[in-house]
Each structure stands twice: as C-alpha cells, then as structure tokens.
C-alpha cells in the first residue's frame, strides 16, 4: 500500500474489498450519516463513492430531492466490481409494503414483480456478459405494469457489465423507458451536466476513465429515439452507425411549453470521428408556415457532428401503434430537408429518402400512404454535394406534381449532383419518362447540366404508389433516348413490400367518401355486408346475395 511522508496509508491505496468492509460498518452507526460522508469526501472521493453504496442501502427519497437514488446508482455503475450487491440496490428501490413515489402509490405485489423481473435480467446479463455483443430493450415488453425508470436502473447495469457490447438498441416504446415524470428519462441515469454537490440536487460529473465507459466506448451501432439525444454526451468513441427515430407523438401540441425543436445534448461538440452512417426515421419532415419553421434534421446534425458522415438515410415511417395526427401526411417541401443536409456536403457519398411502414404490423397506417406527399415540393438543387455518388429517393424528391406545367421548372441537371454514379427512383409514375428524356438531352448537349458519371438508373416500383413495373416494361421505347447516351435503365418491382392489406385501406377511404357525400338514402354502412357481399365489393365483383 502507498504511504505518505508521515507513514500513514492513503485511503486511495486501500483495496476495494477493505473499503467495502469499512463502508458496510457505517450503516450501524446512529450518528449523522451525511456528516460522516461529508467528512470522508474531504479525505477521499473514492472512499465516499464506496461508502454511499452501503450507507444509503435503506434509502429514503424525500419529496423534491430524488437525487439520492441517482447518487446510489451512479456509485454502483462506477464500481462494476460491486455488482454482486444488486440485491442491496433493489432493496433500496423496492422496499417491502406500499410505497409512495412522487405522490403515487403501488401495491406491494407490483413492486415485487418488477424487482423479480429486473433481477432476472441482471443475472442473465452477468452470465452472458463475456459472450454478448448486442443489448436491446425487447425483453422489457413482457413486463406488464412495470415502471420504466425502475427497469432503466438495471438496463444501466447491464450496459456496464457487457464488456463486448457493440450494438446498443434502446429505441423501444417510450412507456418502457420512462415514467410519467419527465425528469426520470433514461439519459438521466447517465447525466453528465454538472459536478457533484453532496447535499444539493446536482449530479456528480463522471470521469471518462471510470468503468462505466469501458463498454460504451466499444459500441459501434446505436439506435435511439429523438428524446434520447442527450445520451450522445456519452463517449461513443467507436460509433459508426447512429439510427434515430423522431416521432411527432413525442411533442404535445397542447402543451403551452411545447417546442417543435428537438432536445439537444448539453455539450454540443462532435466526438464521433468514426461515425459514417446516420439514419433518421420520422413520421414528418421539417414543417414550415408563414410565421415559423422547425429544423429538426439540422439540429440532429449539429448535435452529432458531421465531418465524417458518408451515408445518410431519411426514412418516413409511422409509429408502431399506428399513431397519426393532422400533421402526419402533410409535409413541407423536400427542399428544406436537402438544405439542412448541406452540413454534410463535404463528405456525403450516399443519400436515401424513402418511406417504410414495416413497423406498423398487420394494420397499415393509411396516413403513411406515399400519395399524401402530393403537397410536397421537390428539391431545388443537390449540385453542392460534390462527392455524392449514390442517390435513392422518392420520385417526389426530384419532381413534384407541377412538373412540366411551369415554364421555369428545373431540369434534371439542375437537381442531380455532378458526381452521381447511381440513381434509384422509388415509386415512379409516368411523368418520370419525360424527366429522363430531358436528362438525356442535357447529356447529349454536353452542357453544364450534364451528369457525366451516371451509368445506371433503377426505377423501383411499388404497388401502393406510382406505376407498376409491368407498366414500364410494356413500353421499352420510352427509355430508348436515355440508353442512347450510355445510361442503363432497370425496372424492378420491390419484392419486400407488403401489399396484402392494401384493399382494406382503399375500402376504408371509400367508406369515408361515401358517408361524407351522401345527403340522403342508404350508404355503404347500411348495405349487406355478409361474407359474400363483402368479397364482391372488395374486389369489384357482381354480388349474388341480392
């Protein structure tokens, strides 16, 4: 052990086991425990961290001062060698009997259920730690009635105890990751905003050398939701892929303090030199009106840092519960999205703007129908992206409903980046033929609008929107001019999409229109809907039931 000039042993040099034994004896003293801790903190920060674990084992959280629980959790997180004392932690969080928690009460069996389930997860993580490389929140979906904050405690422990962690997915439904009190979100567990004040309400700042960050630094793929952006304050030094889901449900328009802007990390600086792929999933684009405009994408880029991002994907999707609102489906111009991406213009090589409704389950959200993008204006220019080589976008990004109608419309060369090599157009319709012909004319004229490196264009057709692949394949002459200038055109029917429920969505729209337009007489709701009649109406067949 190390000794100072007087021959006394320094507390910092004591082994952890001995410090733990000393700390365990503190709880038996009837004197002022906070006084003990304050004195010990002056002598040794390390001793205080160990002592807090045991002294607050019978933790009582006064109203308005829930900081004590965070201090306890952070101590355990910084000392994974003490993880065997998880039962002490659980006893502090889940005492016997009914307990008041932020003015709410819960029966003893509910606490016991949560406690048992969380300890089970913790034990599983301990056993699989050396082998596991991925941690998700999917297991939490089976905990009925569990409060998310209590589970977050053990999620934090599992993150700490998995040394080979590489893929971290904490993008489950919010109700499993937070309780109603907004101050108890998951990022609160890893808050790094302030230095410690033992008797106050601020959290102690974590040093990056603590064991907590050993696994965080190894994470290569991180999946989070927009409200979890403060987690980016953690040192994900090896992060290569960041996937963020931003849903409108996270923002309550009826709340007087509601803001359309995302919460940003406390410290805005890029610390992800290896980040190469950024994915943003959302049920809406940036909105604009006469008085205001939100810039969600640019704020995400500002929070993450963007000097190394080479691949960007913007995926329109619906909330898993089929959540929709008056905003959903009525999006601003795609030009706003492209303008926000100019922060990536020096490095971006691949850009995707698409939609995905695979998360909606068996009942597809009709508000996600791409036809609702008809009010979105096209991008005005991508010429500033000098390194952009691969482009996969909805046709609406390249040309909107007014194409070929306005005398000052942009030609293809006005929009496409000069170094483009591969173009995939999603959900094309017949208007794309004229657009491709103009692209060929620009190349034949060898004008400044030419895209000299473009060799392949793929028309990715989907049943829900645009023309089918068979429609284009029956018109091979439509692409003759494009192929004459050295651009190959391929027509593909997307095999991954699910279309079996589409007729039900169309029928639902028919119901709505019929009910709105009928002033008198019977409507579809009043007619015969036996199985035979339903099938006949669904597929447009004559009905034999009358």
Per-residue pLDDT of the chain (546 residues; tens, 9 = 90+): 554 454 555 555 556 555 555 544 444 343 444 444 444 443 444 444 444 443 333 333 333 333 333 444 444 444 444 444 444 444 444 444 333 333 333 444 544 554 555 555 555 544 555 444 444 444 444 433 344 444 444 444 445 445 556 666 665 444 333 333 333 343 444 443 333 333 333 333 344 445 555 667 777 888 877 766 666 766 677 889 988 887 655 544 443 333 334 444 433 445 678 889 999 887 665 554 444 445 567 667 766 666 789 999 988 875 333 333 334 434 456 887 888 888 888 899 999 998 875 544 333 444 455 555 666 778 888 988 989 999 999 888 888 766 666 555 667 877 899 899 999 999 898 889 988 988 888 888 766 667 888 989 999 998 767 888 888 888 888 888 888 888 899 999 886 543 332 232 233 333 333 333 333 333 333 344 444 554 444 444 555 544
Distance, CA of 435 to CA of 424 (rounded, Å): 14
Cα-flanking dihedrals φ and ψ of residue 417, to 5°?
-65, 150
Query: What per-residue confidence (pLDDT) applies to 215?
Result: 65
Tokens 């052990």 -> residue = 1
The domain segmentation of the chain, as residue ranges, is 1-55, 65-239, 502-538
Rounded CA-CA distance 132/532 in Å is 53
- Environment class of residue 159 by beta-carbon count within 10 Å: exposed (0-12), middle (13-18) or buried (19+)? buried
User: Hey, what are 489's tokens?
Assistant: 């055109």
What lies within 8 Å, CB to CB, of 365 at 6+ separation is: 318, 319, 322, 323, 324, 357
Place of tokens 């998700």: 136
Cα(450)–Cα(458) distance, integer angstroms:
18
- Token readout for 526 is 């009043």
The residues facing 490 across adjacent strands are 458
pLDDT value of position 392: 95
Does residue 249 contact residue 319 with C-beta atoms inside 8 Å?
yes
- Residue 387 near residue 349, CB atoms below 8 Å: yes
First to last CA, the chain: 96
Residues 327, 476: Cα–Cα separation, whole Å: 40
Residue-level pLDDT at 423? 94
pLDDT score of 100 = 38
Q: Are strands 104-106 and 488-493 parallel, antiparallel or unpaired?
A: unpaired
| pLDDT for position 228 | 67
Match 């040192």 to its residue by tokens. Answer: 235
Angle at which helices 502-517 and 531-538 cross, to 10°: 90
Closest residue by Cα to residue 238 from 317, 343, 312, 164: 164
Cα 58 from Cα 20, distance rounded (Å):
17
- Give residues with Cβ within 8 angstroms of 222, minimum separation 6: 168, 231, 236, 239, 241, 242, 243
SS3 for 296-357 is: HHHHHHHHHCCCCCCEEEEEEECCCCCCCCCCCCCCCCHHHHHHHHHHHCCCCCEEEEEEEC
**Tokens, residue 216:** 């965080």
**Is the Cβ–Cβ distance between 160 and 154 less than 8 Å?**
no
DSSP-derived secondary structure letter, 210: S
Q: What's the number of CA atoms in the CB half-sphere (13 Å) around residue 508?
A: 11
Total Cβ atoms within 10 A of residue 206: 19
């Amino acid at each position: 052990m190390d000794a100072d000039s007087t021959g006394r042993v320094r507390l910092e040099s004591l082994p952890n086991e001995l410090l733990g034994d000393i700390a365990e004896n503190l709880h038996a003293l009837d004197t002022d425990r906070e006084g003990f801790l304050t004195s010990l903190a002056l002598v040794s920060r390390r001793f205080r961290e160990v002592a807090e674990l045991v002294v607050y084992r019978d933790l009582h959280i006064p109203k308005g001062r829930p900081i004590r629980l965070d201090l306890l959790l952070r101590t355990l997180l910084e000392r994974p060698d003490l993880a065997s004392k998880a039962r002490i932690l659980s006893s502090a969080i889940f005492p016997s009997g009914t307990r008041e928690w932020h003015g709410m009460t819960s029966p003893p069996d509910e606490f016991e259920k949560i406690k048992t389930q969380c300890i089970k997860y913790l034990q599983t993580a301990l056993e699989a730690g050396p082998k596991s490389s991925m941690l998700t929140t999917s297991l939490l979906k089976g905990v009925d009635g569990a409060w998310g904050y209590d589970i977050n405690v053990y999620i934090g422990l599992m993150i700490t105890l998995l040394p080979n962690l590489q893929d971290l997915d904490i993008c489950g439904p919010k109700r499993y990751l937070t309780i109603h009190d907004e101050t108890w979100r998951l990022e609160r567990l890893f808050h790094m905003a302030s230095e410690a004040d033992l008797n106050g309400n601020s959290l102690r700042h974590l040093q990056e050398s603590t064991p907590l960050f050993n696994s965080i630094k190894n994470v290569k793929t991180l999946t989070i939701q927009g409200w979890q952006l403060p987690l980016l304050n953690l040192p994900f030094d090896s992060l290569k892929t960041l996937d963020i889901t931003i849903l409108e449900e996270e923002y309550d328009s009826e709340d007087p303090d509601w803001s359309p802007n995302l919460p940003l990390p406390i410290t805005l600086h890029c610390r992800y030199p290896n980040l190469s792929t950024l994915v943003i999933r959302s049920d809406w684009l940036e909105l604009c009106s006469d008085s205001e405009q939100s810039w969600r994408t640019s704020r995400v880029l500002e929070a993450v840092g963007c000097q190394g991002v080479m691949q960007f994907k913007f995926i329109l999707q619906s909330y898993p519960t089929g959540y929709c609102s008056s905003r959903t489906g009525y999006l601003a111009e795609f030009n706003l999205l492209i303008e926000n991406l100019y922060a990536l213009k020096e490095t971006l090589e691949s850009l995707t703007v698409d939609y995905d409704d695979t998360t909606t389950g068996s009942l597809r959200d009709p508000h996600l129908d791409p036809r609702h993008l008809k009010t979105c204006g096209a991008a005005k220019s991508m010429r500033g992206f000098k390194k952009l080589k691969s482009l996969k976008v909805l046709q609406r990004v390249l040309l909107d409903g007014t194409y070929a109608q306005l005398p000052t419309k942009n030609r293809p060369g006005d929009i496409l980046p000069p170094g483009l090599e591969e173009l995939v157009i999603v959900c094309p319709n017949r208007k794309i033929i004229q657009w491709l012909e103009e692209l060929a004319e620009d190349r034949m004229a060898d004008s400044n609008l030419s895209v000299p490196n473009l060799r392949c264009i793929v028309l990715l057709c989907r049943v829900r929107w645009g023309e089918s692949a068979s429609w284009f394949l029956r018109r091979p002459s439509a692409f003759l001019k494009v192929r004459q200038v050295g651009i190959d055109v391929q027509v593909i029917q997307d095999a991954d999409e699910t279309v079996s429920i589409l007729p039900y969505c169309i029928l639902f729209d028919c119901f709505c229109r019929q009910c709105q337009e009928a002033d008198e007489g019977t409507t579809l709701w009043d007619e015969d809907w036996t199985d035979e009649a339903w099938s006949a109406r669904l597929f447009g067949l004559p009905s034999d039931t009358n």
